[in-house]
Every structure is written in structure tokens, then in C-alpha cells.
Chains A and B, each alone.
Chain A
Amino acid sequence: MTELHPEIHERRILGTELLWAFGVGVLISLTLAMIVFTALTMGINPPSNVERIDPKTLHLSGEFAEHNLGTTVGPDGSATVRIIATQFMFVPRCIAVPRGRRVTLRLATPDVIHGILITGTNVNTMVVPGYVAQVHTEFTRDGDLLMPCHEYCGFGHSEMWATVQVMTDNQFKPGADGRVSCAQR
């Protein structure tokens, strides 16, 4: 067996490393391309919203006053849900949303950091005092989903959860005031 000249050996190692770097570069590019593609064609993005709100007064007047909480339906049929996350409950405890239509969830908290997820969906956000958390989504299946607090917020954290009632068009009927509540089951 002939011995390789050290310089040729070094060049081979360099060639292998460059090939590896190229392969990893291709993989990273493909992953980023897939993320950009789904963002542009399917509207899948990380929820991002920077909107300040005074946590000391949010329940007294304005968007998160008690009579504004829950689900309202806009002129285009899309639903907006306003929820307060507080130790240790969500207000309201049950939210009604339509299936197959755009839904905007808006959450605020007057006390500590909370977080929500809705089981079986990609809805997942933190709720930070002083800010309004906002998530756009579309529910594809009807039925009851669980919405627990997923950020430890105190001794009652494990009891803090709400129900998301995903309704078909037949069930999702706004009242005269454009609001929808959960059906009694």
C-alpha cells in the first residue's frame, strides 16, 4: 500500500469537511425555506404582538371590562375573543368559537405571568402583565377543547383552565349584540 503524501492527505480531509459543510448548509436552507413557504402560503407564523395595557385598570374600562369579555363576531364573520387570565381562572371560563373561520384571541392579565395553550391546536402564548397577547388561528374540528394555564402562576395554577367550545355554523349564532356564548350541555 502506498503512503499518501501529507499534503494530499490534508487536502482530502479539507475536501471532506467542505462537503460536510455544504450538506449541512443545504439542510439548513431547506428547513428555512420550508418555514418561509408555510408562513407565506398557510399563514403559519409565531404569534407576535406588542401592545401595552395598564394591568391596574384593565378590568375597569376599555377593551377588557367585564361586559366586553367573551366572543364577538365582526361584520366579516370572523370572531374575536377577549379573555382575562387571572389567579386562578380565566374569565370567561368557557369561550365559544366558530369552526373554519378566522378567530382572534386577545388575552390580558392584571396580576402575574400566565400562559395558554389549546389542546390539539398550535395555539400557545404567554400572557404577560402590561401587554395584550394576541393569537390568530382557525379551528378545523368542532368539539370541546381544553385551555389550561401552562405557566406556573401560584398555588392554584393546576386549577386554572377554561373550555374552548368549537361550534359548527349551525350552532354558532351571534345574538343581537353580536356576541356568542357557550352552549349549555
Chain B
Amino acid sequence: MHSDQPSAADDPAEVADDVDEAALARVMRTVPLGAAVLAGGAVALLVIGYLLIYLLIFIPRGTIG
């Protein structure tokens, strides 16, 4: 690269922070639990909604075929 061309590395905001590997490992140990709680909660809400509509609205509306 010629020195007269701009580089992203010239801007400090574009340069990645130094990563503390130990701190990253600590965070990564709890992230999967958070993801599981978030995904589990979302799926549980979906399933509860489906069951409520199925059992309280669809079934009482009578037989169909």
C-alpha cells in the first residue's frame, strides 16, 4: 500500500481493542446459558400461545372434517 492512500488503521475507532483472553473465556462460559434461557423462553411463549388457542378456542368450536 502506498503511504499516500488512507488506511482504516489510521482511525483508532476502527482498530480492534486488545482482547483479554482470560476475560473472553469467562464471558463465553456464561453466554451459552443466556442464549439457552432466551431461546427457551421464546419457544415456551410460542408453545403456550399455541396451546391456549388450540385448547381454549379451536377445540370448543366443535368437530370438523
Residues of chain B at interface, number, CB under 8 A: 19
Bound complex: CA A123 to CA B40 (Å): 34
Bound complex: CA A66 to CA B25 (Å): 78
| A33 CB-CB contact with B under 8 Å | no
Bound complex: CA A24 to CA B46 (Å): 12
Contact A27 B61 (CB under 8 A): no
Nearest Cβ on chain A to B41's Cβ, whole angstroms: 13
Residues of chain A at interface, number, CB under 8 A: 30
Nearest Cβ on chain A to B20's Cβ, whole angstroms: 12
Closest to B50 in A: A31
Dominant secondary structure of chain B at its interface with chain A: helix
Query: Contacts of A38 on B, CB cut-off 8 Å?
Result: 59
User: Which of B26, B47, B58, B59 is close to A1, meaning CB atoms less than 8 Å apart?
Assistant: B26
Nearest Cβ on chain B to A7's Cβ, whole angstroms: 15
Nearest Cβ on chain A to B39's Cβ, whole angstroms: 7
User: Which of B29, B36, B65 is close to A47, meaning CB atoms less than 8 Å apart?
Assistant: B65
User: Which of A13, A20, A24, A122 is close to B62, meaning CB atoms less than 8 Å apart?
Assistant: A122
Dominant secondary structure of chain A at its interface with chain B: mixed
Contact B62 A140 (CB under 8 A): yes
Contact with B along A20-31 (1 / 0, CB 8 A): 100110010001
Bound complex: CA A44 to CA B61 (Å): 11
Q: Using known A-B contacts A16-B32, A20-B36, determine if residue A137 contacts B64 with beta carbons closer than 8 Å.
A: yes
Bound complex: CA A40 to CA B42 (Å): 31
Q: Which 4 A-B pairs rank lowest in CB-CB distance, beginning with the nearest?
A: A122-B64, A45-B65, A136-B65, A122-B61
